[in-house]
């Protein structure tokens, strides 16, 4: 059975490739803003709803494949954040995050034949150190536009590690794909050796 990643995210693709999973990637057709607008529920429920929507979008085009969808939701002080709309908004987000704790929830779902067949979420807490305006400007100079595609305005695999004092949670979850539970489910389905 074909395995398809409903994402063109380089990091999610790299995670799968690095653990030796052959897959194809397809762009999902999901209006994330519409899913988020008026959503009533927890961050975990929203993360899995977005993951399911992406998986279903591709599964409808590729019903024979097992499709992976994933997404992340970030909250700080009870406020949900999306990817920044530009560099100025990215700086505003970083100033808001300064000295606070990010709550990052990543969801992953599998769809086949146009139906969700499995889903899960994992969460992480990231304590942001106090950030000066000079640091924020230098950080954005060094890692823009790459961080413009990242909720939380950071790439943990890059200079973004400098934002944090402490991190509690799974590395893969922070990168946007709860990889270990996904691998377990793929083994349970006979798609990976046990």
Selecting among 2, 43, 71, 133, the annotated active-site residue is: 71
Return the bridge partners of 73, or none: 105
Active-site residue flag, 71: yes
Which pLDDT does position 27 carry in this prediction? Answer: 96
pLDDT above 80: residue 1: no
pLDDT above 80: residue 156: yes
Tokens of 1: 């059975």
If one looks up domain 3-188 in CATH, what number appears?
A: 3.90.950.10
Cα 169 → chain centroid: 14
Query: Would you list the domain boundaries of the chain?
Result: 3-188
Rounded CA gap, 70 and 58, in Å? 12
pLDDT tens column, 55-97: 999 999 999 999 999 999 999 999 999 999 999 999 999 999 9
Percent of the chain with pLDDT over 90: 92
Which pLDDT does position 38 carry in this prediction? Answer: 81
pLDDT tens column, 176-192: 999 999 999 999 999 99
Using DSSP bridges, classify how beta strands 115-128 and 24-25 pair: parallel, antiparallel or unpaired. unpaired
Specify the pTM.
0.94
pLDDT tens column, 13-64: 999 999 999 999 999 999 998 999 889 999 999 999 999 999 999 999 999 9
Which pLDDT does position 91 carry in this prediction? Answer: 98
Give the range with max mean pLDDT: 26-35, 100-109, 146-155. Answer: 100-109
Site of tokens 């929507």: 53
């Amino acid at each position: 059975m074909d395995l398809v990643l409903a994402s063109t995210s380089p990091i999610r693709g790299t995670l799968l490739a690095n653990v030796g999973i052959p897959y194809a990637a397809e762009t999902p057709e999901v209006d994330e803003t519409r899913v988020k607008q008026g959503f009533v529920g927890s961050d975990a429920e929203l993360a899995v709803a977005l993951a399911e929507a992406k998986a279903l979008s591709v599964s409808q085009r590729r019903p024979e494949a097992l499709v992976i969808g994933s997404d992340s939701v970030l909250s700080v002080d009870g406020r949900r954040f999306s990817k920044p709309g530009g560099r100025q908004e990215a700086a505003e987000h970083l100033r808001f995050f300064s000295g606070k704790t990010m709550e990052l929830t990543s969801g992953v779902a599998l769809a086949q034949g146009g139906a969700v067949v499995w889903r899960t979420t994992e969460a992480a807490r990231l304590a942001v150190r106090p950030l000066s305006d000079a640091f924020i400007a230098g950080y954005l100079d060094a890692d823009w536009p790459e961080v413009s595609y990242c909720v939380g305005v950071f790439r943990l695999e890059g200079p973004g590690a400098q934002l944090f004092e402490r991190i509690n949670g799974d590395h893969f979850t922070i990168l946007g794909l709860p990889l270990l539970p996904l691998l377990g489910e793929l083994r349970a389905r006979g798609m990976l050796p046990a």
